[in-house]
Amino acid sequence: MPSTNPHCELADEDQRFLQELALASIRHGLTEHRPVTVDLATVAPALRQPRACFVTLETQGQLRGCIGSLQAVRPLALDVAANAYAAAFRDPRFPELSEDELPQLELHLSLLTVPEPVACASEEELLKLLRPGIDGLILEDGGRRGTFLPSVWEQLPDAAVFLQHLKRKAGFPSDYWSPSLKVYRYRTETIP
């Protein structure tokens, strides 16, 4: 059955399964201090395919944790379970999630496409190539790396400001540019 979510091609039942799995992994983590175990034999074929995802947690519209994978290294169901647990308990920006926070918790899944290199010789060239609201961006250089999901455009709609903030997140000065800087872009499918 096709998806009724215009932002995700997975079947509705697969989207619901991933949301329930993410929440189950967080609940499991509260008592067992590890992600829930996933039996891939019981999972839909689309969720057994390698795919990278990010799990974002919010409470009352405020970020509460966000952890993900940039490369597809394991089946999507395993990636969701691991990243949901990590977003709740391993995001260094926040204390571990408490059981009291569960009722207000909002959970968002971002399923990434394969990152594509962006050929650009200057920041000005990169800014012309960016597609606000569409592109997730990865910056990499000298052992440092940072990314912003496409949803970050909602808070930083100006491409130059978006790029400056991403540079700082990656540990670079906001005016940093180097011939060795690698830039990749990706899109996401979002649930919900």
Delimit the CATH 3.30.1490.150 region(s) of the chain: 116-187
The predicted pLDDT at position 6 comes to: 84
Fold of 116-187: Dna Ligase; domain 1 (3.30.1490)
The predicted pLDDT at position 2 comes to: 66
The predicted pLDDT at position 33 comes to: 97
Encode 11-69 in three state secondary structure.
CHHHHHHHHHHHHHHHHHHHHHCCCCCCCHHHCCHHHHCECCEEEEEEECCEEEEEEEC
* Domain 12-112, CATH number (from 3.40.640.10, 3.40.50.300, 3.50.50.60, 3.30.700.20): 3.30.700.20
Those residues of the chain that have pLDDT short of 50 are: none
